[in-house]
Amino acid sequence: MHNQALNRILEARHHDPFSFLGQHVTHIDDEKYYVYRTFLPYASEVKIKTEDDWVDLEKTHQDGLFEYTSPVAFKTPCLLKISTGEQCYETNDPYTFSSSITQDDLYLFGEGRLKLAYKMLGAHLMTQEGVAGVRFAVWAPNAERVSVIGSFNNWDGRIHSMRTHGSSGVWDIFIPGLTNSDTYKFEIRNRHTGGILVKTDPYGFEFEQRPGTAAKISDSHHQWEDRQWLEARKQRDWLHAPFNCYEVHLGSWQRNKKGHFLTYRELAKTLVPHVVAMGYTHVELLPISEHPLNESWGYQTTGYFGVTNRFGSPDDLRFLIDAFHQANIGVILDWVPGHFPKDDWALARFDGTALYEHEDPRLGEHQDWGTYIFNYGRNEVRNFLISNAYYWLQEFHIDGLRVDAVASMLYLDYSRNPGEWIPNKFGGRENLDVIDFLKQLNMMVGEDFTGVLTIAEESTAWPMVSRPIYLGGLGFSMKWNMGWMNDTLSYIENDPVHRRYYHDKLTFGQLYAYSENFVLPFSHDEVVHGKKSLLDKMPGDAWQKFANLRLLTTYQMTSPGKKLNFMGNEIGQGREWNVNTSLDWHLVDNQYAGHEWHRGIQKTHTDLNNLYKTLPALHTLDFEHQGFEWIDCHDTEQSIISYVRRGLDNSFVIIVLNFTPVLRNQYRIGMPQAGTYHEIFNSDASCYGGSNQGNSDSLHTENVPWMHHAQSLVIKLPPLAAIILQIK
């Protein structure tokens, strides 16, 4: 037995090295003795500490096995003095520490209910049995042996083989003396094939600079100063509060003069003031978990728990989020639980089998993106994702998760031809495991993080995405309104002379506008891959392009629903978004010849953002039909629509939009209430770059019935413009 165990240690095949290495009871001539063994292939001499002195261990195998037998037990954890020929150092033996992982945690992990799984798995600085070091743990149920390899053991998988926790599939080891300057990976020998894989930590908090893929031992020291924000968040009535989100890709929002990334701390000095000055309420960050390729925008995640080091450390990111909160800006994280890349050093075939993904490509491969799909029916995989969401919300004070590509998750036949997918147990196309996972996610967020939002990017008519679970919904707070976005852009891209033929694209959305809690998005997806920038989508000459863009922005900001705009929209950037360069900030610089046009777009956004935020009529009933009423949606020939927006406080504003370049001098509209009105916004004002066609400060209603109203008003309606009227 001794030789068999020794051979397995020497070959790095032993599934339970703790049963052979360390201190164990043995019997010699029926007498009880203690045998101590350590395997140190780079050591020339090893001593062990007794109560009184150091004792030399005997090298019993040329490859590095050292032993000592004594009638008296050594104090654990055993302290060693190791000589390698080049250096001599003292350390405690990892194989004389007990495991600090509890059976309760293992049970909950196996059930898929360990929300703090990231505190059990991964690498954690801690003090164990009075000794400082790092506990490593990983889930690899199909491994014969798992080792920690790193900068501290010459990346040699023989030295720090881990202990297994039975059928849980969890392995762990405590290694003393390590610090947050050390890097590591896991070396895994598959039990079926004997093949050896080298993998980065699925629960790693930090990683080395790409193209390196090793995880780094991480520690946090940030002292949060956002308690006031978090307390207010718990009390916020988000259903009736303004939500106007600025979507940002940190690597291309702005770069320094050398073209390098700004750090998280530099962004706290530049991005935060910009978001505040523009009047947004929230910022949404494209994925900031670790990913190897800039061009993936962060959607090809290899380190779900790792903060990308492109811009700094995890504490640097905490500093940025803290700065947003102190400026009263919420932070939404773009989160990607729908798929993961096939990089052989990351999650893919993690222990030599389809562990995080499905084995069958009809379930486990995403054909559009060349990625793997998570096996949501496996408890430990679901736990990985739930714990990841919990991690971002708990450890980084994130205010919401925008869940990417929900439609691709919900449908088994998403982007697949007949025969390329497997129906569920009822013969349907719905992914039942995903439904359960999303409900579990939203329940966790609602129970543990009051006031935190979950937002679904779901592009189909799946019912009740943003309705409570107890009513049969998926439980999301909000859903992106992709139908509104597609209809609106396809309408406004038409030349104004043809828009009368597509008038229904402006009106159809009201038929379903309150079936979900909708966000109206003009996101990054609309300004890449040949789709052109928002400005470049607009028809006509330069004046008409800018007028159309101001009109489009006003339509979005006054329509029912919360708002989202991608960076660059607010300055009327002319080219598509390029992930590898900064936005064209020179467009609003005084030295740029056409800066007045772009500054006009920026001021349009700023003024509308502030109106949306301060006028209850524009936000308190975003999700309820009582907040909207058509005045006229039938003026097809003139391409004009008009409507009322109402607030919970019974306040209201009138919005009239003219989608043609024709000035309407005597345009009559019905009014819901008699009185004197004034123009509080006009997208054609000269300060926005318009022709400055507007109305006097006092507009009096007339007792002329119009559009089903007893009173009406005659107004001047500027070309390609929108006005907002308010009663005095």
Q: Which of 247, 284, 457, 487 is catalytic?
A: 457
Secondary-structure percent of the chain, ordered helix, strand, coil, rounded to 5: 30, 30, 45
Contact assessment for residue 726 and residue 677, using Cβ atoms and an 8 Å cutoff = yes
Q: Which of 172, 290, 357, 404 is catalytic?
A: 404
CA atoms within a 13 Å half-sphere pointing along the CA-CB vector of 436: 13
Cα dihedral: 294, 118, 479, 547 (round 10): -30
Yes or no: say if 681 and 690 are a contact pair by the CB < 8 Å rule: no
Query: What are the tokens at 562?
Result: 């919360």
Q: Residue 320: how many CA atoms within 13 Å on its side-chain side?
A: 27
67 catalytic per annotation:
no
Q: Give the number of C-alpha atoms closer than 13 A to the C-alpha of residue 82, restricted to the C-beta side.
A: 18
3-state secondary structure 201-243: CCCCCEECCCCCCCEECCCCCCCCCCHHHHHHHHHCCHHHCCC
Question: Helix 379-395 crosses helix 103-111 at what angle (to 10 degrees)?
Answer: 110
| Token reading at 285 | 């960050």
Identity of the residue numbered 293: L
Range list of H helices, 379-430? 379-395, 406-410
Q: How far apart are CA 278 and CA 169, in angstroms?
A: 51
CA torsion sign for 86, 89, 94, 100 is negative
Count Cα neighbours of 376 within 13 Å in the Cβ-side half-sphere: 22
Annotated catalytic, 93?
A: no
Alpha helices (H) along 414-475? 432-448
Rounded to an integer, what distance in angstroms lies between the CA atom of residue 561 and that of residue 12? 59
Of 137, 73, 64, the closest CA to residue 101 belongs to 137
Residues annotated as catalytic (active site), given as ranges = 404, 457
